[in-house]
Amino acid sequence: MTVSSGDDQVLESNSVIIGQAPLEAVLFDVDGTLCDSDPLHFHAFVEMLQEIGFNGGKPISEEFYIQNIAGKHNSDVAAFLFPDDVPRGLQFTEEKEAMFRKLASEQLLAIDGLYKLKKWVEDRGLKRAAVTNAPRENAELVISKLGLSEFFQAVIIGNECKHAKPHPEPYLKGLEALDASKEHTIIFEDSTSGIKAGVAAGMPVIGLTTRNPANLLLQAKPAMLIKDYEDPELWAALEELDKKCA
């Protein structure tokens, strides 16, 4: 799924990706990009917010979650959910992350085609880093569960930077950690805040419609949208990238 329909738009989207040749590095978000973890986060928020009587005790909707919580840093989530008591909000998010880790340790699945893309990246000797707003404990658990601990050469955490996504700093830190150039790097992301961060950092972003609707992601200006890593349009672009490199 490219940013808009029609052969001209497909070519335009591909040309943005191909323009990064020779490709040097690939940066990946974690939640929703390596694995479909949003349902686990959503479940944890629904259950724990109900327990404390948020929204009058009514479960939050998936739309509310996508608009206000998904992809955002925990400090922003805490301030949004508990505007009059941010310290309580931060404690709440810590407890929610512990619940997520319990669920993730039992139920985590990779995005379709992830290991096919992993092999493509490894076969070309590309540098790679994970860049996420998730707490380090979460990110390392997910990466380990997916068998990617040896794959990633760096893991950049938003709350360990001065600014988290949607600020570009985490992605710029990823480039710095890999000693890579933004002119030869692409990013995979699934949230508006992540796409905005990558675009602001000066790199083309391939967005995944894992859980967030395409019309919402398009507002952040990704170079391309794909369903998952089996998407034929992704592989058409990567094939053209290979040809240009050759």
Name the active-site residue from 7, 8, 31, 231: 31
Amino acid in the structure at residue 132: T
Name the active-site residue from 29, 38, 76, 190: 29
Structure tokens at 203: 């790199």
DSSP-H helix ranges across the chain:
7-18, 38-51, 62-68, 74-81, 86-107, 114-123, 136-145, 169-178, 192-200, 214-218, 232-245
Q: Which candidate, 25, 5, 61, places its Cα nearest to that of 203? A: 25
Whether 3 contacts 13, CB under 8 Å: yes
The yes-or-no answer on residue 29 being catalytic is yes
Name every residue whose Cβ is closer than 8 Å to that of residue 216 and which is 6 or more positions away in sequence: 66, 192
Q: How many CB atoms lie within 10 A of CB 155?
A: 20
Task: Give the burial class of 197: count Cβ atoms within 10 A of its Cβ; 0-12 exposed, 13-18 middle, 19 or more buried.
Answer: buried
Q: Which candidate, 114, 117, 137, places its Cα nearest to that of 36? A: 114
DSSP structure class, residue 182: G
Distance between start and end Cα atoms, the chain:
26
Instruction: Tell me if residue 169 falls in helix, strand or coil.
Output: helix
Residues annotated as catalytic (active site), given as ranges: 29, 31
